[in-house]
Copies of this chain bind each other. A is one copy, B any other.
Amino acid sequence: MTEFGFIDSIKTLFAPLPDNGFEGIGDDCSVLSVGGGESLVFTADLLTEGVHFLRTATSPRELGRKSLAVNLSDVAAMGARPVATLLSIALPADAADAWAAEFMLGYRELSEEFGVTLAGGDTTRSLSGLTINVTAIGRAADAHLKRRSDARPGDVIFTAGELGTSGAGLQDILAGRCDTPAAAVHRNPQPQVAEGIWLGSRPEVRAMMDLSDGLASDLKHILDRSGVGAEVAVEQIPAAPGADIRMAACSGEDYKLLLTAAPEAAERLAADFRIRFGTPLHPIGRITSGPGLVWLRNGKPEPLDWHGFEHY
């Protein structure tokens, strides 16, 4: 069974249970409205050695930052402000003490940068590899929450940054070049927390998520959840320096925001974003009535067997 097959079977299995006010599984975070016009959001990410990271290719401090960053990105993708995390970490004997202390320094650095408190967790021995789970909690006004399910035909699709740097960095690392700028970005991604909160406050933003598995995979989640299709102009995909278009569309872990915006307000949104953050929103295509994702080159459909990132 694939990971997504397993998740689908879990959703089916748990569907008859009471929801206790929580929205179901299928977005970057689950949502609980707590009254007073406010909601909390929750997300968890599990990182395992050899699957999500190689201890030989990343420092403990960078891994501490990254473990937190990927979760903050999920919170920001909802338009929410991250407020707290719970950190669980299983430490093999050769990663106790100095390694663990360095890991915590990195985790703390990024916690401090985004004003996030550590509200609990668990530490234990591991007989084999390192495993890290972070659960992140965010808060948002109900009206500011963004979901994957709210894209509408005609919406402009934007990415909130250039893509492919992390993928290029991963290639560098796997080739033994661990000291390139792209490799540093791969090991130390910066979540778009301020951008997510700001985009959350804009009513013309409809659907939003973060790009963790690559545009070619992740956009399909918005299409599936919203019951729409999309046309994406490949020449408009903003490939970062060192990445080609295909890498920008297919490699993962960029942790840039992907969003759709009401067409009549999209230009203004992009202009305001540039004023606020000094960087552009990149329009890459349009939501259609669908079905499916159509790649366009020079305005013409092009069949491309592009798909997202597989963890190494």
Contact = CB atoms under 8 A, between A and B. Distances in A.
Interface of A: 1, 3, 6-7, 9-10, 13-14, 17-22, 25, 29-30, 32, 34-36, 38, 40, 42-52, 83-84, 86-90, 96-97, 100-101, 104-105, 108, 111-112, 115-129, 131, 133, 135, 137, 311
B124 A42 contact: no
A282 to B, nearest CB: 29
B35 A108 contact: no
Contacts of A6: 100, 123
Contacts of A46: 88-90, 121-124, 131, 133
Contacts of A25: 118-120
Contact of A122 (B45, B83, B111): B45
A294 B34 CA distance: 44
Given A17-B111, A22-B119, A34 B44 contact: no
Contacts of A119: 22, 25, 30, 32, 42
Contacts of A51: 90, 124-127
A125 B118 CA distance: 27
